[in-house]
Amino acid sequence: MRLSEPFQTERLQFRLLNLDDTDAVFRQFSDPDMCRYFSEPPCDLEEAKEIIAHYNNPEGADHLRYGMFDKETGAFIGTCGYHYWDHNLKQVEVGYDIWKDYWRQGYMSEALPALLKICFEHLGVDCIYILTHPQNHASIASVAKFGFEACEPCRKVDEEPQICMKLIRTT
């Protein structure tokens, strides 16, 4: 599998974001409810285009972001991917966001195993971690179900306090 190839899970279709997704990405990253736990301020329309461009060519890059879409309706559910891939430490940070209309419906529990597989099998990392806002209890609980445990920060952060949780390769 090439990282740029679309793939699917039971309910979700994953593909790289493109400029046709600008309105959805703008909505996602400018909404106050969505941005409550983000480490960056809400974006404007031009910044939404820059987000898409940044993740446009993942092959060999240290970052990747997929759009997640409902397989039946084509609705934009959210995004997930990785960034801060450290080849020397063999670790990578993952991130994800689900549009608020789809919260608490199990989408992250469905998407995360696919993302973990990409990181462990295709990137060859030994450690996957997330940084999340301490009040983002849903995110903390979601990753804990997959074995992530709280740890010291895996990288230096300048943002407001973050909780780091990591998952170490077992096989």
CA distance 152 to 73: 41
Question: Contact at 8 Å (CB) between 78 and 107?
Answer: yes
Mean per-residue pLDDT, 123-135: 92
Q: Average pLDDT for residues 124-132, to the nearest whole number? A: 94
**For 40-93, how does the pLDDT look when each residue is reduced to its tens digit (9 = 90+)?**
667 888 998 998 888 877 676 788 999 999 999 999 999 999 999 999 999 999
Domain annotation for the chain: domains and CATH numbers: 7-168 (3.40.630.30)
Burial class from Cβ neighbours inside 10 Å (0-12, 13-18, 19+) for residue 40 reads: exposed
Q: At which residue do the structure tokens 């060519």 appear?
A: 57
pLDDT at residue number 44 = 86
Which residues are CB-contacts of 61 (< 8 A; sequence separation ≥ 6)? none
* DSSP tag of 117: H
| Over residues 86-114, mean pLDDT | 93
SS3 at position 91 = strand
Q: What is the pLDDT of residue 39?
A: 61
For 29-38, the pLDDT digits (tens) are 888 877 777 7
Burial classification of residue 121, based on how many CB atoms lie within 10 Å of its CB (0-12 exposed, 13-18 middle, 19 or more buried): exposed
pTM: 0.89
